Amino acid sequence: MSLVPYALTRPFLFGLDPERAHELTLDAIARLQNTPGQCLWSQARVADPVTLAGLNFPNRIGLAAGLDKNGRCIDGLGAMGFGFIEVGTVTPKGQPGNPRPRMFRLPARQALINRLGFNNEGLDSFIANVRRARSFRAAGGIVGLNIGKNASTPIERATDDYLACLDGVAAHADYVTLNISSPNTQNLRALQSDAALDALLGAVTTRRDALATTLGRRVPLLLKIAPDLDDGQIASIAHTLKQHPVDGVIATNTTVARDAVQGLPHAAEAGGLSGRPVFEASNRVIRALRAALGAGFPIIGVGGVMSGADARAKREAGADLVQIYTGLIYRGPALVPEAARALQPR
């Protein structure tokens, strides 16, 4: 078990600017991973093996993309007990993202708003970091790599960026996620529309299948979608998913809705809202996807998981696996085994 209760460190971290706290935490994890210092947060992984998309997951709890954008801390984060870790979003070229400040806490609602904008060091640095990870994978952990487009790339050329990223990461990924749902890159969510999504999935799955000849394996492809979709849009996305050899869907990214946080400090900040306020919205999308896609299509549920009961609710809504991010910031590493135990068969 972790030697330092998160309750002792959270007040210090929450006294800092959110992005500064985030950077300090990742720096510490990067420095201490795979050293005796990792015992400060390490804990036993809950065993609950499941096979999805041809991958053997040690348990059903994963870390959502966005926390470790550059893939620096896979081993350290994996030591918290995750069955799978998703890192990124990476873009072909490094980019600074949006101007600071761009991350805001809303503690009264266990929420965050961010408008980071795919800030990352670029594909070459990302791949080098992923290749350095060793202990998490050696212990059976699954690593997903999340890819996107550069802000400077016109939306009509977005596919070029996804293909460039796929070419780079495929050899190093257990699975690859196409992020078309961040609200912080201009026009990105337009890729969720019928014709654009059909074209993107057609191009990316064709390239993935071509790469399989070289790699000797077919890398699973997942699509990450937004919570801000109506029933018709969800049905259309589900239909398009079934037309292509896509291996799963992640529901959902952050929301642009503010109904649940109106009147709170920072509630009017632009960006994606995560945490407790997106819990029900993501569950609604999960339920609709499960109804449209049927029992066998892999769904990863993410959004507002703050407890084991929340993780179980995602499962009951139709998710096969569950990811956390904002819950880790508010609850700390203890949330990981709590959620994993909640998803074990009863």
The residues that are catalytic are 182
Q: Report yes or no: 111 and 261 within 8 Å, Cβ to Cβ.
A: yes
Structure tokens at 50: 């499941």
- Other C-beta atoms lying within 10 Å of the C-beta of residue 243: 12
Spatial separation of the C-alpha atoms in residues 80 and 62, rounded to whole Å: 10
55-83 per-residue burial string, b: 16 or more CB within 10 A, e: under 16: bebbbbbbbbbbbbbbbbbbbbbbbbbbb
For residue 223, give Cα distances in angstroms to 70, 107, 175, 186.
Answer: 19, 30, 11, 18
Structure tokens at 258: 């503010």
Pick from 104, 105, 102: which is nearest to 116 by CA? 102
